[in-house]
A and B are shown apart, each in its own frame.
Chain A
Amino acid sequence: MSGGACAVRCRGLVKRYPGVLAVDGLDLEVRAGECFGLLGPNGAGKTTTVEILEGLLDPTAGDVEVLGMRWSSDERALRERIGVSLQQTHLPDRLTVEEILVLFRSLFATGRAPEEVMRAVSLEEKRRAHYEKLSGGQKQRLAVACALVGDPELLFLDEPTTGLDPQSRLQLWDVVQEFRRTGRGVLLTTHYMEEAERLCDRVGVVDHGKLIALGTPRELIASLGGEEVIEVALEGVAGPLDESAATALLHLEGVRAVRLTPDGFALAVEPVHVALPALIDHVRVAGMRLGRLMTRHATLEDVFVSLTGRGLRD
């Protein structure tokens, strides 16, 4: 791999199903060796996009290049060099962990020893367990192991931790970070902000089949104008505040953005020690009563909400 080369490049990607435009003119570049996250709510078109990039779906229009090759002319060579974990794969119930890995290894001309991959995903103790007996986290680690066993240069993970408990999620993150230590690239989709912030060098936010923001997690959060968030719930108010109240909040010192919530508001602020006293004064003068006040670091969730006005899981 030459430095600065693109692992994935797509231009003007469109996928139209009868009555649905799943992907609507998407441009994307994933650099060699980086971990790139496609972030968006369910139905945003993440899976469709990834499956087109993986050569499993044909785009309605657009141009795709993976590792400098094209699916139409280099399919077999490409398949040898990428690893794929689909959003949902149900592996055969009555094959053991070891049998499944040996099977997948046999499908590649070159690759890693099943033994070694089993260790990498901490499933050695389960080697003789049938797939149906594994926990959700173990199944997901095995699915990723099946993608690793071909020793890929580029790894595609479609929602690798959806539905997993926090501990299983941490274990899977370790697997991905371990893989990245060899300098290879990852393209993953997720609707967990925390996952994107933790794993990804760069994030593309997708909504309605379009890329609506692109950058490092820090850049995206900085684009809010403030890295801290103050969330306030008011007592004794019926329904959301009006626009004039929101404008008044925006003029407070240190407040960079305002978002109204059903029972109060959330402010993006910078710095928090200036904004907070100003806010408290404002609340008292305006005759509002605080029900709850909380400060926290801004997350990609806030970025998404500020971009779309909706929560990621709405």
Chain B
Amino acid sequence: MTRSVAPRSALVELTLARFRLFVREPSALFWTFGFPVVLAIALGVAFRNRPPEPMRVAVEPGPYAQRTLSELDSAQVRAHVADAPTARQELRLGKVVLIVTPGPPRTYTLDETRPEGRAARLLVDDRLQRAEGRVDPTPVAEEHVTDVGARYIDFLIPGLIGMTLMSSSMWGIGYAIVELRTKKLVKRMLATPMRRSDFLLSFVIMRAVFVLVEVPVLVGFGCLAFGLRVPESPLTVIAIALVGALAFAGLGLLVASRAQNTQTVGGLMNVVMMPMFIGSGVFFSTANFPDALQPALHALPLTALNDGLRAAINEGAGMRACMPLLISLVLWTVLSFAAALRLFRWR
């Protein structure tokens, strides 16, 4: 029987196995690369920058209806005559944002909680008052601008990258480990002289390498397809993404540390990720939440990751400016790994 020395180290072989399994799983590839691109395209189209839609306004019939209509109808306002019940119905359905009942006194009917309604009320009243002879004391001029870096798509793409890093790290590690555990492969590996650290490191290395591929692809796509600013410090973008992915790798490990089946870990993962999908500024800014929640939201790892990516991509921030966010992510990484290793069920 020939005894031979191991040709490659266990860590290398374990990592290679992780890569092979990932690449041979087409759905994993889609969720890592395809999904964020498809989502960016869909949302980019839905929220593309375009000339403002005209405001739709209903005018109730009466002696002054025709005159009101002709004074209002323009590029900014689309008005039509509708009797009171119809107009109410249209307001409720959002087909119009304002109902004008010509006076005097003139009555505006609107839903105060809708910003479009309030805007339409100001615009319509301004226009009608002027047509009826009001003179403004100060002449006014307008200048229109759209800055790259301030559009919705600029906000969206870094958020999508952050979200993808979170879900692929958590699923890629948490789910994969629990799956190995249910197939008794963890136990099988433990029956060999394998180092436990090699086993866990292979997952982390694989995630880290994927970040190096994933992030340039997604940022590059944003720059080419949506004209995002090319980051001034690509290194900062990569550093933030890398530490962010590690923080979520740790959380994935923590979630998987005791789960005995994939349903349990799937549920736990959703419990951990859902608040961050909503509260960490993926699709809309964290600033929309009440002030009392802000410290908690800013402590979340995805908030730190998204803020860091936005600063590095849209504002060209460098390492120094992103340092507080990086430190927050490093803390998440250290704490989650420490907790996961304490709790991890090997057998």
Contact = CB atoms under 8 A, between A and B. Distances in A.
A253 B184 CA distance: 55
A116 B5 CA distance: 14
A76 B193 CA distance: 6
Contacts of B187: 56, 86
A146 B17 CA distance: 15
B113 interface: no
Given A56-B347, A108-B6, A84 B183 contact: no
A223 to B, nearest CB: 35
Contacts of B21: 92, 94-95
B191 interface: yes
A99 B6 CA distance: 14
B2 A112 contact: yes
Given A57-B347, A89-B184, A107 B194 contact: yes
Contacts of B5: 110
A90 B183 contact: yes
B192 interface: yes
B4 A95 contact: no
B193 A107 contact: yes
Contacts, number: 93
Interface residues of B, number: 31
Which of B2, B189, B191 has most A Cβ within 10 Å? Answer: B191
A88 B17 CA distance: 21
B191 A113 contact: no
Interface residue tally on A, bucketed by range: 35 or more
Contact of B6 (A57, A92, A94, A111): A111
Given A94-B20, A95-B21, A108 B192 contact: yes
Contacts of A76: 193
B114 interface: no
Contacts of B347: 56-57
B156 to A, nearest CB: 34
B176 to A, nearest CB: 10
Contacts of A173: none
Interface of B: 1-10, 12-14, 16-17, 20-21, 24-25, 183-185, 187-194, 347
13 contacts: A55-B191, A86-B188, A86-B191, A89-B184, A90-B183, A91-B185, A95-B17, A102-B8, A103-B13, A106-B14, A110-B5, A151-B3, A182-B1
